[in-house]
Every structure is written in structure tokens, then in C-alpha cells.
Structure 1
Amino acid sequence: MKWFGRRQKAGTMRRAETPDQAHLKEFVQTRQGVEGFVEPRTAVTEYTLLLVAIDGEWTRRRVPSVQWAHNFLNKLGIPSYDAAVVGYPPRMREYNARMKKNGLP
């Protein structure tokens, strides 16, 4: 199993989910209308997966690859998009504005 360049030794038990995977799965399972936006690798960040719920609440975590992100979402029945192609949903900006207006992070 390969995760961020580390290969697991032969004969060892496969690890359970990473904390990032667990967080992404928990977000999907506890929010409604979640969509996934796979963000490309840049000079300063690895590939990331942005999840946005129907109310605009969002979370972002690093992922090993674009293919991994799409496969992860497909297994959960969540629509996935390439953020560089489709952009971000307006509800995400609206959510951020509401949080800022209410003095929340």
C-alpha cells in the first residue's frame, strides 16, 4: 500500500484508514448533499480533496492522487468534479460569508 510515498513492508498488516481518510468519510456521512472537488497539485501543495455540503460547509484534506480522490468518492456515491475545470460552488462562498458575519472561523 502506498500513501504519500511510503510503501508498507511486506508481511505487515495493512493500516486502517489514515486520519485524513477518516475525516473525509465522517464529513460525507454526517452532512447532506456533499459534492467533492478534486484540486490539482501545485508548487506548494499536494493534491487535495474539497468536500462541500449542501449548506456550503466545507472541508479540505490532502489525498495521494486525483484517481484516488475520484475512486474514494465513487465508492461513497458522492459526485466528484475537477475543481480546475468546474470551479467551486457559490454556496461555499456564501457559507464563508455567513460564518464571517457571525464572527465564527
Structure 2
Amino acid sequence: MAGQDHYATLGVPRAATDEEITRAYHRLVRRHHPDTGPPATSATHLEAVLAAYAVLRDPARRAEYDRSLSQSPVAPPRPAPPPRRTEPAIRVGPVRYHGPSRPG
């Protein structure tokens, strides 16, 4: 996982607190776990999330990682994709009463 920005992997800023990092980790593990996500992509994403959390949860390893980031430029994080809309919006108009039907 060399050259990968662990902060971008977890989707947190570099000034994130330990609580924010842990919350992001739990959210991503639930999303990319093989039992809950698509198995083809979940394994690689889960490995990246686990590696990022292993570095950022330990204060000494995080400080060393931050020092290495300050020495080498890192590409800015990718913008978040727009939210997906799975179902079309349902539009309901006024309901009209036509009275009882007449036999014809």
C-alpha cells in the first residue's frame, strides 16, 4: 500500500481526531465487508481500509506517517461522488372523485 494516502482511504481530513478515524473505519468496514458488499471489489477495499486504520490508530505510527507525508507531495483527495438515486421519484397528483358509476 505504498504511495496510498491513508487519510483519503478513510475519507477523513489529516487533522481528524481518533474518534473520527474510528467512526470512518467502522463505517467503511461495514460497507466493504465481504458478507455485506459486492465480493469482487470488497476484498481490495477492505484491505486498504484495514491497512489505513492500522497506521492511523497508533499515535507513534501516525506521527511517523505524517512526517513522511510532509516530505513527499501527495495528490489531493478525490471529491466524493454524488449520491446515487436508486429509485425514481414518485409524483402524486390530486385525487378526483367522480361519483358512483352508472350502469350503462
TM over 0.5, yes or no? Answer: no
TM-score by length of 1: 0.26
From the CA coordinates, give the structure whose radius of gyration is larger: 2
More helix as a share of residues: 2
Give the TM-score, by structure 2 length: 0.26
